[in-house]
Amino acid sequence: MAAAQVIRSEWTKIRSVASTVWTLSLAVFVTIALGMLISALSKSQFDTMPERERLTFDPTFVSFAGMSLGQLAMIVFGVLVVSNEYSTGMIRTSLAAVPRRATFLFSKIAVATGLALAVGMATSFAAFFLGQAMLGSHRAQIGDEGVLRAVIGGGLYMTLIAMFSMGVAAMLRSPMLSLGILMPFFFLISNILGNVDATKKIGQYLPDQAGSRIMRVVPRLDDGTPYGPWGGLGIMALWVIAAMAGGYLVLKKRDA
């Protein structure tokens, strides 16, 4: 089967599965709604904030406050896209139709990545503009230094989270096992490692901790991070490449 036909087939699969549509919709809603709520609260509490917090107040980053929950929906999307066929047993039929496993896997990932990128970018820009509307006089403008980079970076961050999840799901081949590892890792373990003094130097190289730096415009006081916004996104991209490579090797060596 030609690569173009495989891509069309994968697009049909993704489009026809209700769970993937719902998870993307949830990612959009949660990211925007929570970002607006935190932005509104920040505006109301700005005058009572400690001076240190006012000096490092980052209106752009505040509007992305919902990203921490929105990324969980993107994780679910990435896992379901890859592992649904394993849980239903359809993987045998798919591999019989597309025996070249690299073509099969990377066509699936390409289609899902394109969809995640479109949704991620739309979500990031919507979260920014609606969040800034909530911030009122404390808002940032899209033309301010570093702001457009942060907004575009937000969309790229959501896309890379989904891609990393696809790679992990391809390795583990089980939706429950994949989600059972990824959810606590991003929601609990990474935050703990990134905020405890003894483990900060390790935590700052985890995919979400490094990648989220692209969304920050105003640096934190005493920020000793040894890389910049694009460097952090590059570290996250390396995690994605490693996960994708692992997923491909597992698919290549194991039976369906």
**C-alpha–C-alpha distance, residues 103 and 224, integer Å:** 42
Q: Can you give the pLDDT at residue 157?
A: 98
Express each pLDDT in 107-125 by its tens digit.
889 999 999 999 999 999 9
**C-alpha–C-alpha distance, residues 180 and 243, integer Å:** 16
* DSSP per residue, 101-168: HHHHHHHHHHHHHHHHHHHHHHHHHHHHHHHHHHHGGG---TTSTTHHHHHHHHHHHHHHHHHHHHHH
Q: Is the pLDDT of residue 95 over 90?
A: no
Q: Can you give the pLDDT at residue 107?
A: 87
Print the SS3 string covering 149-182: HHHHHHHHHHHHHHHHHHHHHHHHCCHHHHHHHH
Q: Can you give the pLDDT at residue 59?
A: 95
Q: Can you give the pLDDT at residue 51?
A: 84
Average pLDDT over residues 44-68: 91
The structure's pTM equals 0.92
Q: Is the pLDDT of residue 223 over 80?
A: no
Higher pLDDT, 68 or 127: 127
In this structure, of 7-11, 152-156, 240-244, the range with the lowest mean pLDDT score is 7-11
Answer yes or no: are the C-beta atoms of 2 and 94 closer than 8 Å.
no
Q: Can you give the pLDDT at residue 239?
A: 97
| Best-predicted range by mean pLDDT (17-21, 87-91, 200-204) | 200-204
Q: Where are the domains of the chain?
A: 3-253
Q: Is the pLDDT of residue 99 over 80?
A: no
Q: Can you give the pLDDT at residue 154?
A: 97
Average pLDDT over residues 63-81: 94
Q: Give Cβ neighbours of residue 222 (< 8 Å, ≥ 6 apart).
A: none
Q: Can you give the pLDDT at residue 2?
A: 61
Angstrom CA distances, 201 to 59, 172, 204, 249, stand at 26, 28, 6, 30
Express each pLDDT in 146-183 by its tens digit.
999 999 999 999 999 999 999 999 999 888 999 999 99
Angstrom CA distances, 37 to 19, 33, 64, 66, 147, stand at 26, 6, 11, 9, 20
Q: Is the pLDDT of residue 13 over 90?
A: no
Nearest by Cα to 157 from 240, 219, 43, 228:
240
